[in-house]
Amino acid sequence: MTGSYSNATYRLYDDNADFQKKAQGIAVGLTVGSWTELPEAAKEQMQKHLGQVVSVEVHEPEGVQPGERYADITIAYPDVNFSRDIPAFLVTAFGKLSMDGKIKLLDIAPSADFLSAFPGPKFGVQGVRDLLGVHDRPLVMSIFKSVIGHDITNLREQFLQQALGGVDLIKDDEILFENPLTPLEERVKACMSAAREAEQITGQKLLYFTNLTGSTFQLKANAKRAIAAGANGLLFNVLAYGFDALAELAADPEINVPIAAHPAMAGALYPSLHHGISAPLLLGKLMRIAGADLSLFPSPYGSVVMPRDENLAVMEALLTPSLPQKPSFPVPSAGIHPGLVPLIMGDFGPEVVVNAGGGVHGHPGGSADGGRAFRQAVDAVKAGLTLEQYATDHEQLRIAIERWGVRTS
């Protein structure tokens, strides 16, 4: 094989297929279309465009039951066939093929040349930490809840309460769109003024990820309007718009604030055994290549559950030094409460954002106490103490434990 290739690995379930033949069919069908029928002269010319079968690993143990036989197939696609953007590669490697039987895209290994087209996250883990001046512990993020139907005064008060609890990051709810009660610029100004007010008291910096919405062609302008109004972070529903929209935003030098990728719609794409795109690729590698500084995904512990091994694979894809793009912060989310912090820190280590909505606002003492309870839980784990031990002289944590309990496994 000469030239540069980008690989894709699939898991294909079929009780009877000749997987080697199937792999050849993919390699040819998704590149030059047909091969054996080509005259020799044409073959020479088309060779550099022809996909190659890299490997076919058949899983067919003795006594394999109907529905369980599969093969992991890796195909190398010539880079010369597609432009340097994520849609071009995805359509090549998993366009029509995504609809052709029980097939799931497990992973991609883009060439160095392809990857070099993507600046990736502007800030990444280190950059976000630098903005906040926090380098010695996991970050804590709070999610706005009960936002629809509320006005700016109400929103500001909610923001202030969250900020007073000592969280590092606050994100809009992903379902908060442009609306007459809390329009983008007013929302940003009000929340950032609350952030400054809280900083006077807590001495702590804060990033506010305002939800970037609107039609695709308005996104850049809206992002710049938000930034001009003072936004120091953006939340983005990547999968509703496509990875290219994120890549374009992340590559724009004027959009100089971190971007948090929300996983809305991911459930339509990754959970099936037989179809879609694996979670580590969808919410890990592709988010990072496209430029997410933080990537949110369901945790193994909360209300929307992703299996632990898959979860840790998402984390690995976001943090691995094997990609040229800066590492993105993993943000395991959904149903997180302070009693889960030891598990999160045990599984994810220090480079994680502990993110909660209900777990902050549902604290019996209110949202500020909710944030405090999370910070205390992080401090407890850092100090090598159990939450129960630390809670003996940390009231907000004690009350949170009473409310939600502590999970140890």
Active-site annotation, residues = 96
Per residue, the 3-state secondary structure of the chain, as one string, reads CCCCEEEEEEEEECCCCCHHHHHHHHHHHCCCCCCCCCCHHHHHHHHHHCCEEEEEEEECCCCCCCCCCEEEEEEEEEHHHCCCCHHHHHHHHHCHHHHCCEEEEEEEECCHHHHCCCCCCCCHHHHHHHHHCCCCCCEEEEECCCCCCCCHHHHHHHHHHHHHCCCCEEECCCCCCCCCCCCHHHHHHHHHHHHHHHHHHHCCCCEEEEEECCCHHHHHHHHHHHHHCCCCEEEEEHHHHCHHHHHHHHHCCCCCCCEEEECCCHHHCCCCCCCEECHHHHHHHHHHHHCCCEEEEECCCCCCCCCHHHHHHHHHHHHCCCCCCCCCEEEEECCCCHHHHHHHHHHHCCCCEEEECHHHHCCCCCHHHHHHHHHHHHHHHHCCCCHHHHHCCCHHHHHHHHHHCCCCC
Is residue 174 near ligand 1AE by the rule CB under 6 A? yes
CB 148 → ligand 1AE: shortest distance, Å? 13
CB 267 → ligand 1AE: shortest distance, Å? 9
CB 219 → ligand 1AE: shortest distance, Å? 19
Choose, by CB under 6 A, the member of 212, 336, 340, 345 that binds ligand 1AE.
Answer: 336
Is residue 271 near ligand 1AE by the rule CB under 6 A? no
**With respect to ligand 1AE, which residue has the nearer C-beta, 131 or 260?**
260
CB 357 → ligand 1AE: shortest distance, Å? 3
**With respect to ligand 1AE, which residue has the nearer C-beta, 51 or 359?**
359
Mask for 348-387, x = binds ligand 1AE (CB under 6 A): --------xxxx----------------------------
Choose, by CB under 6 A, the member of 32, 108, 143, 194 that binds ligand 1AE.
Answer: 143
Number of residues that bind ligand 1AE (CB under 6 A): 16
Minimal CB distance residue for ligand 1AE? 357
**With respect to ligand 1AE, which residue has the nearer C-beta, 167 or 336?**
336
CB 235 → ligand 1AE: shortest distance, Å? 9
Mask for 226-265, x = binds ligand 1AE (CB under 6 A): -------------------------------------x--
**With respect to ligand 1AE, which residue has the nearer C-beta, 103 or 334?**
334
Is residue 146 near ligand 1AE by the rule CB under 6 A? no
- The residue ranges that bind ligand 1AE (CB under 6 A) are 143, 173-174, 263, 296, 298, 303-304, 333-336, 356-359
